[in-house]
Copies of this chain bind each other. A is one copy, B any other.
């Protein structure tokens, strides 16, 4: 794992909390490499919007306000729904098969939820990402993909108990099927709207929990 992935993982898993400072030498020591590769990683993470410069002394892990989350999810809805509609137009039959496979893997991951541990949740998240990825591949639109990949990272920091709620997961599975059907039938408008609704639902689940101080979010390995 290169320094960029390593630090990104630290942030996404919550081992590095928002507001925490990052120095080149600190991470160089931790990863047993020189400052040069760490510098490079920091620059990339800054471009991702995950860390921000902190008064000319390195960086701090970015904090996301409720408004940030709202804006990022809205952008995601805009971009991914556009992607879904293009997928409906340009998908091949082989790609459609792969989408079905991905969604099936997602369903299986959900079925295993009963024996619930953190690694199962990670599996579910990963399979969900895989399904979405498969859709954007079929658009043959590399530019769209690069923009989507940027808005997908941030929500990962906020992993709510959404992923623990089987009813919500099964509902999202159903929407996946609606999207798939629309792509299969080459109905771009329907695919677009279904995807939009899908993302908005995820957004609202996260926002409700952020606004409810009684329910804790799952930020990080511990707790």
Binding site for B on A (CB under 8 A): 39-40, 43-44, 47, 49, 68, 71-72, 75, 78-79, 82, 141-144, 146-147, 150-151
Contacts and interface: CB of A to CB of B under 8 A. Distances in A.
Contact of A68 (B43, B79, B143, B147): B143
Nearest to A78: B82
A215 B34 CA distance: 52
Nearest to A73: B143
A143 B75 contact: yes
Contacts of A141: 71
Contacts of A146: 49
A82 B71 CA distance: 12
Find the residue from A75, A143, A151 having the highest chain B CB count within 10 A. A143
Closest 4 CB pairs of A and B: A71-B143, A47-B47, A71-B141, A72-B143
16 contacts: A39-B40, A43-B43, A47-B47, A49-B143, A49-B146, A68-B143, A71-B141, A71-B142, A71-B143, A72-B143, A75-B143, A75-B144, A75-B147, A78-B79, A78-B82, A147-B147
